[in-house]
A = this chain, B = another copy of it.
Amino acid sequence: MNERHTRNRIYVSEEEQELVKNFPILLAGSGIGSVIAECALRFGFENITIIDGDLVEASNLNRQNYTEEDIDTNKVDAIAKRLLSINSKANIKCLDLFLTLENVSEHIKGHKAAINALDFSSPVPLIFDTTCQKLEIPVLHPYNIGWGSLVTVIAKDGLTLDTLTKPEEEFNEVNVVKYASSYLRFWGNPQQWIDGVVEKYIAEEEVLPPPQLSIASWSVASMCTHLLFNIATGKKFKQFPEFYLSKIIDDNL
C-alpha cells in the first residue's frame, strides 16, 4: 500500500485498495456531490467523473465543497482543482454541462457506479436511473435533510423511485423524504422532526430550493463512500425501497 493509504490498513486490504482505485465512479451533480467526491477520493477512489453545468454561488458555501474564490466560476472546474490538490495523480474528469435526455446515456457508459445528485426539476434524474439499470450500474441517491442524511441505492434489477409517485403527480425529492419518514414510522422508529421540516418547507410562501446543512452533507459523504466501497468490492448493501438514514437528533434523549 502506498504511503497515502497506509492508515487504511486493517480496514482495507491491498487487493481491495487496488479494486477501489480502478473503480470508475460517476458523480452526476456537483452540489452535495462535491463533498462526496472528496471523501471518496481520500478513501482511494482515483477514477472520478463529475458532471454539472452550474456556477458556484455564495449560498452553496454553507454545505458544498467550494471557497469564496470559486464563486461565479464553474462548479466542475472548482471541484477538479480541489480534488487534484489532494491527489495530483488521480484521474479526475470534469464535464461542464447539464445532462439531458439526449446525452445522458453516452456520459454514463464506462462507469461502474453512479451517484444521482441531480436537481429533480426535469425527467432527467429518473431517466438517468433507468439508463444505469440497463447498463447494470448501481445508482446511489443522496438526500440532505439538514440534521440527517438519507441514501438509497437503485440496483440493476430493483424498483425505481417513480414507484413512490401517485398517478398524475410529478416526482420530486420531497416524495422520497416523505416515503422515508412513513417507512420509519411503520417500522417503529418515527422521526417526527422530518415531518416538521417537510411541513414547514411546503408551507413556505416562495418556492425555494430545499434547505440543507453541512451536517447532512458530511454524513451523506461518509455513507456514500462506504457504499461505493461495498459495491466496488462485491459486498452486500441495501437497495431501494430500503434506505440508510444517519442522524443523531433525538437519539435516546
Chain B residues with CB under 8 Å of A3's CB are 58-59
Chain B residues with CB under 8 Å of A240's CB are none
Chain A interface residue count, CB cutoff 8 Å, equals 65
Question: Which residues of chain A from 64 to 101 have a CB within 8 Å of any chain B CB?
Answer: 67-69, 85-88
Docked CA distance A249–B58 (Å) = 35
Q: Mark A188-213, 1 if CB is under 8 A from B, else 0.
A: 00000000010011001000110111
From A8-16, A21-29, A125-133, give the one contacting chain B: A8-16
A interface list, Cβ under 8 A from B: 3-12, 35, 39-40, 42-44, 58-63, 67-69, 85-88, 146-147, 149, 197, 200-201, 204, 208-209, 211-219, 221-223, 225-227, 229, 236-238, 242, 244, 246, 248-249, 251-253
22 CB < 8 A contacts A-B: A3-B58, A4-B61, A7-B59, A7-B62, A7-B209, A7-B211, A7-B212, A9-B208, A10-B146, A10-B211, A11-B213, A39-B217, A42-B63, A68-B88, A147-B226, A217-B222, A218-B219, A223-B248, A226-B248, A226-B249, A238-B251, A238-B252
